[in-house]
């Protein structure tokens, strides 16, 4: 039986389907679309096409398929153009449907192509990484990178459905699985202390029996946050809470050079920095920092920079972060473990100390 969750967004509402193997479920979505004369197409990446070839064949049969190079560089203007050209070459019209099958890179890129092509066509998310299953496939943020920065161009475009087939994770490299765990731990820290405690007691592995339930819990947290603040317009809290650890993490990714740390690895260090900041602001006890470090380490994630990065550059990256409002760094901090809030006007000296404590130099 296929389990599901609803994301309630009025006319943009959709279902997230969960199962160990949703191959037949996805396949079954295509027949009625084709029967109704709606042309379908698939975008995926080379690693997914190689490691999940038989699943892709069973899901999509002879549907036109565009296989893009794997990696963050694919979220570019050039590859965006390739997806649009592919859709046009396949004579996809406004009733067409695009299936995005991959990690966050393919989901963001194909989602943005679906948002833009003919001013918007329907698309389905079939996430294949843990990060995409718990985070990027839900919520409708799509986009690409430009040379000025990551995710600077994009659109809100909700998928028509998300199919989370957890068996696809079997071929995911362990380092990528760990990176996805940083986002899972983030959900515990920002809004679910029971999830945090569960992961503390029983670190999650690719073969853990609890994995599907944990993915579902994360999707439920994200769905509720997105429902309340679809376009991240809330003055406080709201969708911005999902950025816990990310202001520090984005700065680390950028200054180290994209690719040095996986996004989730940078977020893990960011979560430690954020726990430190929350403690310095008197919100959480110092012992909680050690708890955060322990849970991350138990999931094979870094808690400190592998090599020092210059503080000055990290601080400059923080002040250029997309989430900055009115020139002041806006951080997500914890009021307690499991309860996050947005906070503006934080003293730069405190942020500097947090960066030093996770290994910045200067």
Binding site for ligand NAD (CB under 6 A): 45, 47-48, 51-52, 70-72, 75, 102-106, 108, 128-129, 131-132, 135-136, 139, 141, 151, 168-169, 171-172, 176, 179, 263
Return the number of the residue (76 or 353) whose C-beta is nearest ligand NAD: 76
Is 243 tagged catalytic?
yes
Q: Within a 10 A sphere around the Cβ of 78, how many other Cβ atoms?
A: 9
- Euclidean distance between CA atoms 99 and 159, whole angstroms: 10
Return the number of the residue (51 or 198) whose C-beta is nearest ligand NAD: 51
Contacts with 2 (C-beta within 8 Å, 6 or more apart), sequence order: 17, 18, 19, 22, 25
CB of 9 to ligand NAD, least distance (A): 14
Return the number of the residue (179 or 181) whose C-beta is nearest ligand NAD: 179
Q: Give me the residue label for tokens 């990528």.
A: 176
Contacts with 283 (C-beta within 8 Å, 6 or more apart), sequence order: 333, 334, 335, 336
Strand partners, 124: 99, 161
- Euclidean distance between CA atoms 347 and 352, whole angstroms: 9
Return the number of the residue (17 or 45) whose C-beta is nearest ligand NAD: 45
Is 151 tagged catalytic?
no
CB of 76 to ligand NAD, least distance (A): 11
Return the number of the residue (39 or 254) whose C-beta is nearest ligand NAD: 254
CB of 123 to ligand NAD, least distance (A): 13
CB of 353 to ligand NAD, least distance (A): 28
Is 263 tagged catalytic?
yes
- In the set 79, 176, 183, 230, the catalytic residue is 183
Is 11 tagged catalytic?
no
Is 141 tagged catalytic?
yes
- Euclidean distance between CA atoms 186 and 194, whole angstroms: 13
CB of 32 to ligand NAD, least distance (A): 27
Is 210 tagged catalytic?
no
Residues 45 and 67 sit within 8 Å (Cβ to Cβ): yes
Is 232 tagged catalytic?
yes
- In the set 39, 157, 216, 246, the catalytic residue is 246
Contacts with 248 (C-beta within 8 Å, 6 or more apart), sequence order: 269, 270, 273, 274, 318, 354, 355, 358
345 DSSP assignment: -
- Give catalytic residues, as residue numbers: 119, 141, 183, 222, 232, 239, 243, 246, 250, 263
């Amino acid at each position: 039986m296929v389990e599901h969750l609803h994301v309630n967004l009025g006319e943009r509402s959709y279902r997230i389907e969960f199962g160990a193997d949703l191959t037949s479920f996805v396949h079954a979505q295509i027949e009625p679309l084709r029967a109704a004369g709606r042309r379908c197409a698939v975008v995926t990446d080379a690693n997914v096409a190689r490691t999940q070839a038989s699943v892709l064949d069973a899901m999509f049969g002879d549907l036109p398929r565009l296989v893009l190079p794997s990696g963050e560089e694919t979220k570019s203007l050039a590859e965006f153009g390739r997806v649009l050209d592919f859709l046009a070459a396949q004579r996809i019209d406004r009733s067409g449907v695009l299936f995005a099958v991959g990690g966050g890179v393919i989901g963001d890129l194909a989602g943005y192509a679906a948002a833009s092509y003919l001013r918007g066509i329907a698309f389905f998310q079939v996430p294949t990484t843990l990060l995409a299953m718990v985070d990027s496939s839900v919520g409708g943020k799509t986009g690409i990178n430009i040379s000025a920065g990551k995710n600077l161009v994009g659109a809100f475009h909700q998928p028509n459905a998300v199919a989370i087939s957890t068996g696809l994770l079997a071929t995911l490299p362990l380092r990528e699985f760990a990176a996805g765990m940083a986002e899972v731990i983030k959900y515990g820290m920002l809004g679910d202390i029971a999830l945090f405690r569960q992961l503390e007691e029983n670190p999650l592995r690719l073969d853990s029996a609890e994995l599907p339930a944990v993915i579902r819990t994360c999707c439920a947290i994200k769905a509720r946050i997105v429902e309340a603040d679809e376009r991240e317009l809330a003055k406080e809290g709201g969708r911005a809470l999902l950025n816990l650890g990310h202001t520090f993490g984005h700065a680390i990714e950028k200054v180290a050079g994209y690719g040095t740390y996986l996004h989730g690895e940078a977020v893990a260090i960011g979560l430690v920095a954020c726990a430190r900041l929350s403690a310095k602001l008197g919100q959480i006890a110092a012992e909680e920092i050690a708890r955060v470090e322990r849970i991350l380490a138990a999931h094979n994630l870094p808690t400190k920079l592998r090599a020092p990065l210059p503080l000055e550059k990290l601080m400059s990256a923080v002040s250029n972060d997309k989430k900055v409002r009115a020139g002041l760094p806006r951080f997500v901090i914890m009021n307690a473990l499991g309860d996050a809030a947005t906070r503006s006007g934080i003293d730069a000296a405190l942020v500097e100390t947090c960066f030093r404590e996770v290994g910045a130099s200067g």
